[in-house]
């Protein structure tokens, strides 16, 4: 019977050459509205949707947007085909954008249809810092009252 004993080297921890990135504290705003739970009237909503989405820090320095997603939660009506009864229904349309403000077709549809109970929701907002590094900015949800 033959037996062999072996010894392995201790694995070294890899050395990271990247400095830890701490993104700046920023806020997302559309017109005068910012935060994740803003509310406004339908008329104000029709005006602010025409404005660009802005990302700024506490010193009011703005950041370039790489992309963001926008969702429009609509309130409409649905008709039951068998009974003919009409009842309220909600649906949502959403898309990823790389430029702000929204394209003309989105702006015109929203300004024509916007009314109480609907939501304008900007999320997954990705912006560049001064060195070109990407980071997420806070979401912005505006509920129409």
Q: Compute the CA torsion angle 13, 15, 19, 25 (nearest 10 deg).
A: -10
Whole-number percent of the chain with pLDDT over 70: 88
Cα dihedral sign, 74-108-120-33? negative
Distance CA 8, CA 105 (A): 65
pLDDT in tens, 74-93: 998 888 888 888 988 899 99
Question: How many residues appear in the chain?
Answer: 145
Is pTM beyond 0.85? Reply is no
Query: How many Cβ atoms are within 10 Å of 34's Cβ, its own excluded?
Result: 16
DSSP-assigned letter for residue 111: H
Query: CA–CA distance from 87 to each of 76, 79, 81, 118, 143 (Å)?
Result: 9, 6, 12, 16, 21
HEC profile for 38-71?
Answer: EEECHHHHHHHCCCCEEEEECCCCECCEEEEEEE
Contact (CB, 8 A) for 127 and 64: yes
Q: What is the chain's mean pLDDT, rounded?
A: 90
pLDDT in tens, 38-77: 999 999 999 999 999 999 999 999 999 999 999 999 998 8
């Amino acid at each position: 019977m033959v037996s062999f004993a072996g010894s392995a080297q201790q694995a070294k921890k890899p050395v990271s050459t990247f400095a830890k990135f701490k993104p700046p504290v920023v806020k997302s705003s559309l017109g005068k509205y910012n935060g994740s739970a803003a509310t406004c009237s339908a008329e104000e909503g029709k005006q602010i949707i025409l404005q660009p989405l802005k990302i700024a820090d506490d010193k009011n320095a703005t950041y370039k947007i790489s992309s963001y997603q926008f969702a429009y939660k609509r309130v409409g009506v649905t008709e039951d085909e068998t009974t003919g009864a009409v009842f309220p229904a909600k649906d949502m349309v959403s898309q990823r954008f790389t430029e702000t403000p929204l394209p003309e077709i989105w702006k015109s549809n929203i300004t024509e249809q916007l009314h109480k109970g609907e939501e304008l929701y900007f999320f997954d907002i990705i912006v560049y810092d001064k060195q070109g590094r990407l980071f997420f900015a806070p979401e912005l949800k505006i509920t129409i009252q």
